[in-house]
């Protein structure tokens, strides 16, 4: 079996005006659907980051991918790693996501590109063998992968532009503790999630503390809670929030990336522990690649590593990370971005094969709708907050090519080819807004 064709489908997916410390989400999120065809007539698919940079990075390996045996992934990894020698030299120091969103960090380019091709190859191999993707890498350790209700502050609106402005703003404006609780109840009623995450770093910390406390009152003691301000807070503020939310976060939840940098995280940890507060710190900003993981252990700056097959280098790297976390005694959860069903199923298979991953994974899936979904049969169903690993070959989903074409049409009309939350914030909310760290 050889890869005879590589097709890339850049698409745009409507997205509401969600807020984070990076700024504001644009009216469309950019994604790329990757499709390989084999000489046996099999199609393998994956979904990755969108826009010019991720697309160009995959284009750059086209001549290496076409003609490749999809089983020979280690050699492809070696090839891409050799291309990224400078990245490796810089790896431990300059590779955080403090300033760059995951799809835009040039130092992750080879791991992102590898993941996009690896997942498509594994999907094709699964289809060739008639086995689910997770079975190709050792089999699943769980049949159902739990996801969390991922709450955001947002302005009114549901994304889209011009004639494609989306009118069904399911969650409305969310800028107060009451609205956070309302959106959470809506999301849990619809999907059955059993863990909850609030994207913070948007309004002053006392308002976010109030939102988490209100969630705890509304949801009762059994639902783990987490908050992620994406480094918006100073060390002092992080310690204060950790102190005030000790009771709310310590029971199965976590405090995610409260401040920037491993050293800052480590200081927050030391000061909280000194107060008898062992709320774990999680990170997808200070820990974004393998060299960061022993550093997280050595400094005790991170207790829960947020994996992500899309930029950690695919499903098998996800397993390596699980092994490393197990060896080092670290926890593991999973980070997400705006995504559709191919990516969601990739995350589900990735989580299913990682014994160390014991927290519900993040997902932005509730913020997207049926209108943009590209898999046959429409949106992936959640069962009590979990995705059940299907007993179907590969990822278990197929592309709806009409829907892919519609996504492409939306993409072609867009004036931007890069995620830039700061520019969106300046355009729609405050022309003088700048990302300042720490803001509080
Ligand atoms: Mg995060």
Structure tokens, 328: 């080092």
Residue 285 in this model has a pLDDT that exceeds 70: yes
Q: Which domains does the chain have, with CATH numbers?
A: 3-135+402-411 (3.30.390.10), 138-395 (3.20.20.120)
114 C-alpha to center of ligand 1: Å?
22
pLDDT of residue 105: 82
335 C-alpha to center of ligand 1: Å?
6
Look up tokens 């046959």; give the residue: 376
Single out the residue of 283, 344, 277, 281 nearest to residue 310, CA to CA.
344
306 C-alpha to center of ligand 1: Å?
8
| Catalytic residue selected from 199, 292, 339, 364 | 199
Single out the residue of 293, 365, 345 nearest to residue 322, CA to CA.
293
141 C-alpha to center of ligand 1: Å?
25
Helices (H) and strands (E) in the chain, counts: 17, 14
229 C-alpha to center of ligand 1: Å?
8
233 C-alpha to center of ligand 1: Å?
14
90 C-alpha to center of ligand 1: Å?
22
Residue 90 in this model has a pLDDT that exceeds 60: no
Q: Give the model confidence (pLDDT) of 193-229 as tens digits.
A: 999 999 999 999 999 999 999 999 999 999 999 999 9
What does the pLDDT average to over 404-420? 97
Q: Give the model confidence (pLDDT) of 338-355 as tens digits.
A: 999 999 999 999 999 999
12 C-alpha to center of ligand 1: Å?
23
What does the pLDDT average to over 328-336? 98
- Is residue 51 within 8 A of residue 418, CB to CB? The reply is yes
pLDDT of residue 365: 98
What does the pLDDT average to over 105-134? 96
pLDDT of residue 92: 44
| Catalytic residue selected from 9, 140, 197, 335 | 335
Q: Give the model confidence (pLDDT) of 237-283 as tens digits.
A: 999 999 999 999 988 999 999 999 999 999 999 999 999 999 999 99
24 C-alpha to center of ligand 1: Å?
15
Q: Is 199 a catalytic site residue?
A: yes
Q: Give the model confidence (pLDDT) of 229-249 as tens digits.
A: 999 999 999 999 999 999 999
Single out the residue of 317, 300, 299 nearest to residue 308, CA to CA.
317
Inter-axis angle of helices 314-328 and 341-352, to 10 degrees? Answer: 40
How far apart CA 163 and CA 270 sit, in angstroms, is 53
Beta strands in 293-428 (DSSP E): 304-307, 331-334, 386-388
8 C-alpha to center of ligand 1: Å?
28
Q: Give the model confidence (pLDDT) of 158-187 as tens digits.
A: 999 999 999 999 999 999 999 999 999 999
Structure tokens, 222: 């059994």
pLDDT of residue 88: 58
- Is residue 102 within 8 A of residue 337, CB to CB? The reply is yes
374 C-alpha to center of ligand 1: Å?
26
Share of the chain above pLDDT 70, in %: 98
Look up tokens 């849990």; give the residue: 188
Q: How far is CA 327 from CA 127, 356, 359, in A?
A: 33, 10, 18
Q: Which three-class secondary structure state does DSSP give residue 434? A: coil
pLDDT of residue 94: 65
**CB proximity list for 212: less than 8 A, separation 6 or greater:** 198, 225, 227, 245, 248, 249
pLDDT band at 82 (very low <50, low <70, confident <90, very high): confident
- Is residue 272 within 8 A of residue 239, CB to CB? The reply is yes
Residue 68 in this model has a pLDDT that exceeds 80: yes
pLDDT band at 89 (very low <50, low <70, confident <90, very high): low
How far apart CA 144 and CA 126 sit, in angstroms, is 19
How far apart CA 84 and CA 324 sit, in angstroms, is 22
Per-position DSSP letters for 182-205, written without gaps between them: HHHHHHHHHH--SSEEEE-SSS-H
424 C-alpha to center of ligand 1: Å?
20
Classify strands 23-24 and 19-20 as parallel, antiparallel or unpaired: antiparallel
**CB proximity list for 279: less than 8 A, separation 6 or greater:** 242, 245, 246, 249, 250, 253, 254, 255, 272
Question: Which bin fits 157, alpha (ψ -120 to 50), beta or left (φ > 0)?
Answer: left
22 C-alpha to center of ligand 1: Å?
11
**CB proximity list for 291: less than 8 A, separation 6 or greater:** 91, 92, 95
What does the pLDDT average to over 6-17? 98
pLDDT band at 84 (very low <50, low <70, confident <90, very high): confident
pLDDT of residue 59: 97
376 C-alpha to center of ligand 1: Å?
30
Single out the residue of 124, 127, 134 nearest to residue 389, CA to CA.
134
Q: Give the model confidence (pLDDT) of 21-51 as tens digits.
A: 999 999 999 999 999 999 999 999 999 999 9
Single out the residue of 266, 319, 269 nearest to residue 290, CA to CA.
319
């Amino acid at each position: 079996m050889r890869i005879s064709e590589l097709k890339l489908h850049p698409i745009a997916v409507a997205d509401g005006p969600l807020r984070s410390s990076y700024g504001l989400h644009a009216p469309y999120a950019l994604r790329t659907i990757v499709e390989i065809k084999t000489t046996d007539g099999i199609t393998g698919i994956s979904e990755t980051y969108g826009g010019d940079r991720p697309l160009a990075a995959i284009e750059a390996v086209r001549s290496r991918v076409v003609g490749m045996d999809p089983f020979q992934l280690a050699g492809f990894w070696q090839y891409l790693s050799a291309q990224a020698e400078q990245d490796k030299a810089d790896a431990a120091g300059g590779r955080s996501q403090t300033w760059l969103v995951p799809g835009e960090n040039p130092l992750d380019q080879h791991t992102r590109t590898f993941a996009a091709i690896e997942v498509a190859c594994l999907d094709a191999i699964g289809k060739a063998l008639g086995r689910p993707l997770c079975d190709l890498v050792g089999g699943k350790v769980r049949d159902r992968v739990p996801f969390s209700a991922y709450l955001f502050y947002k302005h009114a609106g549901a994304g889209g532009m011009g004639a494609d402005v989306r009118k069904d703003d399911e969650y409305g404006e969310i800028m107060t503790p009451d609205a956070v609780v309302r959106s959470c109840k809506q999301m849990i009623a619809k999907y059955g999630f059993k863990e909850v995450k609030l994207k913070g770093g948007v309004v002053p910390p006392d308002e976010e503390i109030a939102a988490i406390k209100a969630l705890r009152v509304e949801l009762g003691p059994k639902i783990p809670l987490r908050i992620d301000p994406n480094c918006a807070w100073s060390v002092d503020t992080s310690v204060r929030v950790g102190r005030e939310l000790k009771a709310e976060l310590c029971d199965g939840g976590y405090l995610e990336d409260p401040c920037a940098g491993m050293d800052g995280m480590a200081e927050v940890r030391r000061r909280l522990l000194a107060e008898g507060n062992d709320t774990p710190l999680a990170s997808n900003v200070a820990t974004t690649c393998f060299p960061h993981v022993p550093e997280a252990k050595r400094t005790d700056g991170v207790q829960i590593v947020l994996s992500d097959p899309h930029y950690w280098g695919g499903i098998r790297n996800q397993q390596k990370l699980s092994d490393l976390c197990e060896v080092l005694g670290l926890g593991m959860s999973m980070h997400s971005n705006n995504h559709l069903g191919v990516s969601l199923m990739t995350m589900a298979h990735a989580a299913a094969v990682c014994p160390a991953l014991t927290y519900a994974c993040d997902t932005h899936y509730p913020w997207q709708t049926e209108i943009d979904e590209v898999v046959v049969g429409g949106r992936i169903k959640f069962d009590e907050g979990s995705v059940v690993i299907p007993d179907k070959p590969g990822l278990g989903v197929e592309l709806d090519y009409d829907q892919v074409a519609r996504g492409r049409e939306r993409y072609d009309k867009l004036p931007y080819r890069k995620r830039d939350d700061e520019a969106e914030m300046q355009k729609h909310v405050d022309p003088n807004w700048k990302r300042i760290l720490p803001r509080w």
